[in-house]
Chain A
């Protein structure tokens, strides 16, 4: 019963940024760069003191990329 409980009710953990393989990082690099550029462009256009920091979610790996992590990939 304990095993079944563990199997069905234990919350799955999303993979974290550190666990991403170099191959996945390479795949995501153009997307991250495009998003970073778009954020910088709109910040310049609106005269914002800092660019907006969107979240990027990769569906294939089910990983949520924070803005700082995106910067590491680019």
Chain B
């Protein structure tokens, strides 16, 4: 059995706890794209009221419909990424005391301490890596959700820029 020092254990425990709180941080930051999605839906309704489909196929109407369709696609893709950031949400926790003590042969106090230290360090290492992988995926999804909803809002802004020309029948 490899020797694991107290420094190893402390280091891995700190990594584990940091990564666990980072997970909650990522979840909390999902509220930004969610708020932007709801704002974007509201902006869509304003755009829909202003557009006159009867003027089809005027250039401005085609342009607004095209921008609106792209914005809707980006919005749905963003919502999909928000959903997937929360998908398969599992927690990894160190072993229970019962599992630490189970099947333990008789050991001297220093041997037992070293054994428990090694098992705990291994547990923190595994849990840390699992959290790290999950957080990398969730953070990527959150970032894409944010990018896509920004794209959707920009496309809607462009559609609003075209709107005055649409009103005069261009």
Interface residues of A (CB under 8 A from B): 27-28, 31, 34-35, 38-39, 42-43, 45-60, 66-67
Interface of B is mostly: mixed
Are A35 and B130 closer than 8 Å at their CB atoms? Answer: yes
- B35-94 with Cβ < 8 A to chain A: 88-94
Q: Please, how many angstroms separate the alpha-carbon atoms of A49 and B102 in the complex? A: 12
Interface footprint category on B: 20 to 34
* Chain A residues near B94 (CB-CB < 8 A): 52, 54-55
> What is the minimal beta-carbon distance from B130 to any residue of chain A, in angstroms?
6
Contacts A47-B1, A55-B96, A67-B95 aside, 9 further interface pairs with beta carbons under 8 A come to: A31-B90, A42-B122, A46-B118, A46-B122, A48-B118, A48-B119, A53-B123, A57-B93, A60-B89
Interface residues of B (CB under 8 A from A): 1-2, 4, 88-96, 99, 103, 118-120, 122-123, 125-127, 129-130
Chain A residue nearest to B102 in the complex (CB): A53
> What is the minimal beta-carbon distance from A35 to any residue of chain B, in angstroms?
6
